[in-house]
Structures are given as C-alpha cells and as structure tokens.
Structure 1
Amino acid sequence: MQMNDEHPHPEPDESRSSPAQPEDDIAALEREARARREAALLTMQEDEENDPVQPAINKLKKRRRGKATAFLALAAVALIGLAWAGNWVYRNLLWPPGEEKRQDAAPQPNRSDYRQRTDLGAHDTAADTPEPVDSIPRSTTVTGPETPPELDKARFLVRRDNSAAAARNPVRTRQQEMTQATSTGQQTDTTPTPTESSPAAVRRIPYNPDLYVPENTAIPCSLDYRFVSDRAGKIRCTIADDIWSASGNTKLIEKGTTATGIYQTGAETGMTHGQGRAFLIITKLRTRQPPYLDIPLVDTRAAGELGEAGVDGWIDSHFSERFGGALLVGMIPDVAAWASNSAGQKDRNTDYTENSRQAMADMARTTLENSINIPPTVHKNQGEIINLVTGQDIDFSGIYTLRMKNDR
C-alpha cells in the first residue's frame, strides 16, 4: 500500500501493472488473427478448385479456358472424322473402280489370227493335213531302238495361202531358219555398209513471195464473244494487225478482218482432266472491205500469246460438284452407325441399320460415278487476244496482181 497526499485513499498494486495489459491484448489479437488466417488457408487448400498462390484475376479466365479446350477437342474430333470419311470414300469408291477400269481397258488378245498355233504336242495330224505321198521307197530296216515321236513344228507354221504363195515361201523348220539367219548375217558383215541416203533435193517455192502468207504465221485476233468450253459451238474474233506477205512488201490481210472457228466437246476433242487449254479450230477469214474476200483456212488452230497450242483462261475444275455430293451422301451411313453404336439400350446382336447404310453407300458410289467425270471448264472474256497459227500457205496470186508504181 502507498499513501498519497492528494489521494488519501490507498491504491492497489495492480494499478502499477496496468500499462502491460494493452500489450497482452495486442498479442492475443495477433495470435487470433494468425489462427484465423491459417484456418482460412487450410480451407482454401482443401478446396480443389481454388489455389492459395493463384491470383484472383485468374479465376475469371477458367470459364474461357474451358470453352477453348472444348472447342479444340470438337475440332480435333471433326478432323479425325473427316480423315476417316475421306479414307473410306477413297478405299470403297475411288480405288476399286479404277482397278476395274484398268482391267477392262486391258487389250484383249487377237484370236482371229489365222497363224495361231493350236494343239501343240499332238503328233497325229493326218486328219487335218494329209501327208504327201513319197514316191521313193523307204527302208524298213530298224538299226536301233524305236525313237519317240517328235513334234513337227513346220506344219503348225504353215500359212493358209494358195499353192503359188506356198511355192514362193517354202516351209522351213526352226533349225533351217536359224542356219539361214546365221549365213545371212555373215554375208551382211562381209558386204560394205551403204552410205547414208542423200537428202531431198531443194526446190523452189511455187508461190510469189509478194502474194502469199507463209505457213505457221501468227495472226493476232481479238475475241468478239465470251468463250466458255462447256458447250460446243462457234467462235468469232477480229484480226488486230495487218498481215503482210512472206517478203514483207505487200499487205494481204487487213486489220479488221473477221475470223470464224469452231470448238468441239467430247472425250477426244474436248477438255479432259489435267488439261488447262482448249483446242480451237479456225475455218475461214472474211474481209470487211473491198474486194470482200472469203479465205478458207486448212489446219489452222488457235494458240496462246506466245504461240503455244491451245487457248488458256480461268479454269473451273468443278471440285465441289465432283466430290461434294458423294462425300455428303457417304457420311450419312457413318453418322447412322455412330448413332446406333452410341445408343444405351439396344440389341447388340442385331444391326437394324445395315440395309439402310448399304443403300446409302450404293447411292454414294453411284453419285460419285456420275459426277467424277465432269471435265474442267475454260472461261475467256471477250476482247482478249489469241493467235491464229496458219496450217498451210495462203496464196493470193489468183486475187491480186502487182505492178510497178510508176507504170500508168
């Protein structure tokens, strides 16, 4: 106890320790806060979806990441399905018909050759060809054991010609032919080799060089109409430059002359797979100024800008029309089979979709056979320039005559 003048009442000793109480309270609060923090961390660690180290902003990206993963998985499944469908279409629709066509296209051996040898090995041929009567008697003495019969190959090589041809070409055995070939080769080796044949004689050109257009002359021509190679028909173009004679002194075909040609379609003359140029034939030229000539052309074809054969342009290969329908029809039985296999309750011993899937496969095969042979199409717009390559010399001597300019 301690006495104070101002406060006569005694003060307990606990008042001396009052400044230490706030420090104890703060420590207790810190311990409680630490305990709560540890409990919160333990709770967050137990949760599988939350990570105590992960920033809070990453929680907002989980849903987007899940969508991206699902999209990639669906895309991978779709690519695998398309690859499998393409493999199935190739194996079941494309590959076997090609093999069958190649087998069908194999040339059949010619069975109508009258020189074909038959019944080889048969010795008794007296019924077919009578043996000639030998006027010289043969000796019947036997000097040794009887030899087995041999095949008379000469009789099977006899040509069915008349007696005169047989007399000119007597029948020989293989041994005789080999002997004759050997002797002929020896004679050929001993004889001197003839000199090379002399070249053909040079002759004069039968045309006036001032009045004819030589062969293989390129004539530029502008298309008057748009050209599409799907259908056969005629084409027309206008010559863009003046065409001069072989000597270069006379203008024989004036600019503005009309050229007419034809285009044919089909397996032999039209477009085929792998080709990018159309074959055009020019039949005639017709002038638009006096003396109004009609010039027939023989073996004249249309060419490219540099003289290459055929006319090019924009090529439409019709890929979607050729394969799109068959691919879609072929995927229907695959989808049906997948749906049937993914059903929960079903009879696994019975396939109820077999007939329909087989029918759809036949439809896909028929669709592919009808559309696979669609030829490519060449498109060329009007106004584009093509070259006309002349197939023969064009002679104008029957139309024009030349004279000196100073003659009157």
Structure 2
Amino acid sequence: MTQQNIAGTISGFFEGGLPVRLTAFDGSEAGDLDSPYGLEVLNQRGLQYILTAPGDLGLARAYVSGDLAMHGTHEGDPYPLLSLILDKTDFARPSIADIVGLVRNLGISNFNPPKPPPQEHLPAWRHTIEGLRTNVGSALRWARHSQERDADAIHHHYDVSNAFYEHVLGPSMTYTCAVFPTEDATLEEAQANKYDLICRKLDLKPGQRLLDLGCGWGGMVRHAAKHYGVKALGVTLSREQANWAGEEIKRQGLDDLAEVRFSDYRDVPESEFDAISSIGLTEHIGVKNYPAYFGFIRDRLKPQGRMLNHCITRNDNLHNAKAGAFIDRYVFPDGELIGSGTIVTAVENQGLEVQHHENFRLHYAKTLTGWNKNLVEHWDECVAEVGIGTAKVWGLYMAGSRLGFERNMIQLHHVLATKTLKGVSDYPLRHDFGV
C-alpha cells in the first residue's frame, strides 16, 4: 500500500473484498472494476469519516454529507448496490501495527474525525453527559426511555415533515408494515388490508372502545371508526402526526368516533377498553420496559378484552437488543429489537393469554420496496422539503431494511392476546379472522 492508494486501503476493510468498483479522489481504484455499481470517495473529509468510524456509520456519514457517492443506482433506492455490500461493512478492528501503517501511508490528518452531519442524532452516551453537565435531575430525565428522552427520539424521526411523509408513504400515511393480500396488490391496498386484518383479529364491533398506542397519523383509528363503528382513541408522541391526524379525522367526518391525542401512552388515564392495538410502538419502548408496557395494556383492558401487538423483531432472542450505529444515530434513536419469543413471554408474564402469533417478514420487504419507489418518484419534491442529506438517509435506511427482512435478519410479528379471567376469554374454539 502506498500513500496514493486510498481505494485499495478502504477496499481492504471489506471482508472478502469489495464486490463493486471503488474509486477515490487520489485517482486510485479497487474492487470489482467491471461492476455496474460503484462507490467514490470524493474528498478528504469522506476519507476521514470512513477511517474514524469504520463500518456502516462512517460510510453513512460520508454518504449523507455528500463526500461519498454511489454510482449505478438512484439515491432514493440504493438497494442494488447495498445488496452487494450489506453483509461486508462490519469492518474488523485494526491492530496497532495496522493503525501505524495506515497513519504512515495516509497521514495523521486523515484520522481527525470531522463533525458528524446535522442529520445525526445525539448518541445515548452524549445525552447522559449533557444531562450531568446541567444537574443530576436533568440526567435522570434523559435516562434511556424516560418520557423526555422518548419524546426527543420520536421528534427526531417523525417530526420531519408531513409533506415528506405524504410523498414517501402515499395516501394511507401509514408508516408500518402492510399486509399484501396478493403478490400484485398495491401498497395502498395492502395497508388497508393490514388495518382490516387487525380489526378482525381484535373482533371489533360497533359501540366498542379501542385504544391505539403509538397511532402515527391515525390510520388504524380512522379505519376502525369508519368501517367497524368503534369509538377509537389514538395517542402519539409526535405533535406533527397528531395535528395531521386531527385534521384528517375532521375532513372525513369521524369526529364523533375518532380522536388522536398528542400524549405519551403512559399518560392515558382512561381504562375499560374493549381492545388495544400497538402497531410499531414496542420497538421504541425498550426491552426492559416490556413488563410495565404490557402491564399497562392489561390494566386498560376490560375482562375478555383483546390486545394486538405489531412489532419489528429480531430472528432470535439471544443477541443485543440495540440497533446498529447507523439506525440508532440516523433513524430510530434508542430503538431496540428482540425476538418475538421475548415479547410472547412478556405478554404472558403480565397475565394475558396469547391466542395467535404470526410472522409478516416478507410483507415488510414488499412494503419497503413500495416506499423506496415512492421516494424515487417524488425525489425532487422530497429533497425540496427536507434537504438532500435527509432524503439520502431515508433512501439508505429503507433499502437496507428491505434487505434485512429479505435475508431474515429482522422480522415482523403480530401477537394477539386476551385478558382472560377465571378461564373465560370469549375467544372462539378456532379463529378465522373473518377470511
């Protein structure tokens, strides 16, 4: 390796070599030079990002900041390129001798970490340090999954721009896994089918009361009120979501049945609900808080009431629940994933009877494909709304997540349970969910 071989140096970080072409600002090239896909390190700052945070975080920083280019694929859907390198970006930690060699060949200045892009969320340890600098009470308020810190994490991801989400998610404004009734169903058809399936699993009937935790833009609330005649309350920690949902409820004339409240779920005082849905919230609450969360749900249900938990999961119950560095810093701060068995255990330990357990892994891959397609089709509008850096973050994360679901690195599970008392659940001998 010589001082003029940046591409060769970076390529060496990728386990098994780089299956796409790599070029750098020093004129060097490496990897598969015949590949239709390529990475290009455009300047010294891009090199610094990669060297000082080796792995997906450094690559993401360089890409989001405009210092690393992807060739052969659209920025709104880098799936083709990511599919080749996704499992190769866990760079091995270099030895002291390797570090000395890198410094000698590339220069010490390239190991001075640049400031992260503005899209990066404050990491967990920084929250604690910043809190302690103020006072101990502030540090406690910023403890992992405190109400204050959860609100900040939700604000980072969901209060981007409702217009941006309208472009990416489509008319349903639904940011959770769809359920495709057929292979060729549209994304909108699949989202409506998902809500209807959950309503059937919960056995909703006119006049009943539904609580939807982490309701987003109110899709479940509106569907249940409009099609099943229930009185539905949704809560979200995103003020932008609550405002949008409230306006849409009024537009559809559902004010007498549907409400979306800007609130932490822990502050909901009502109880005696016939059914509770949790669609995409469990990922945010922290595994250690599962007992309290499902205990809260149990206490808010009527006897024989039903609960449906819809949650992204890992493919096992053994590994660390925290997300990777890129996801944690740019997408879901403080997000935690664990196997569905851990969720089932937590539900059962709170006295709820699990009745049905289902995996929708491939449905989420198809959902993400649809979102990437929407982002590409509305790329200019999305960039105008949130900026090129944030738009690139979304393209990167959705394409990478699609690969995660396709390769069974992550899954999506429904867990349906009843508040069974003295052996009475009001659950049928066999469920068919109306299909």
Q: TM-score by structure 1 length?
A: 0.18
Greater share of residues in helix: 2
* TM-score, normalised relative to structure 2: 0.17
